[in-house]
Amino acid sequence: MSDVLLVLAVIALAMAIAGRAVWFLLTLGVGLAAVRRSRR
């Protein structure tokens, strides 16, 4: 039973990290696009 909980915890942690990474990359991409548009 503890193994199942451990696996679920690892999956939840991985999803949280992946979500933050995707959100960070998306925000960074939008920021760079805005900077490029403002410069040009």
Which tens digit of pLDDT belongs to each residue from 1-40?
A: 789 999 999 999 999 999 999 999 999 999 999 999 998 7
Q: How far is CA 8 from CA 4, 13, 21, 23, 26, in A?
A: 6, 9, 20, 22, 27
* pLDDT score at 39: 85
Residue 28: C-alpha distances to residues 14, 18, 36 (Å): 21, 15, 12
Say what the pLDDT of residue 31 is: 95
Q: What is the pLDDT of residue 26?
A: 97
